[in-house]
Amino acid sequence: MNKSILDSKGEILLVSQFTLCADVKGGRRPSFINAKEPKEAERLYELLAKKLNEKGIQTKTGKFASYMEVQISNDGPVTITIDSKNI
C-alpha cells in the first residue's frame, strides 16, 4: 500500500459504471441525479484513460455505456472507495 500504480508497474481496468453515483438516502429506489449527463461522462471517461496512458500506465477500457461482465482478482487486503466530493 506504500507504492503508487507507477511504482508497482500495475495496470488499470477502467470501466464506466453510473450506478456508483446512486443515492439511496431517500428510500428503496436509488436516485442517479448526481450522475453526469452521458456525453459529459463519456468525455471525462475518455480523458481519464488518455491521461493514464500519457503517464505510462497500462490501461484497459471497456465500451462506454455498454453492458459488461468483468471478472477480476482483487489481490490485496483492502478495497477503498473514494468519494471525490469529500476530498
Q: Is 81 annotated as catalytic?
A: no
Beta strands in the chain (DSSP E): 11-14, 58-61
Selecting among 19, 59, 79, 81, the annotated active-site residue is: 19
Q: What Rg value do the Cα atoms of the chain yield, rounded?
A: 15
- 62, 16 Cβ separation under 8 angstroms: yes
> Which residues are the active-site residues?
19
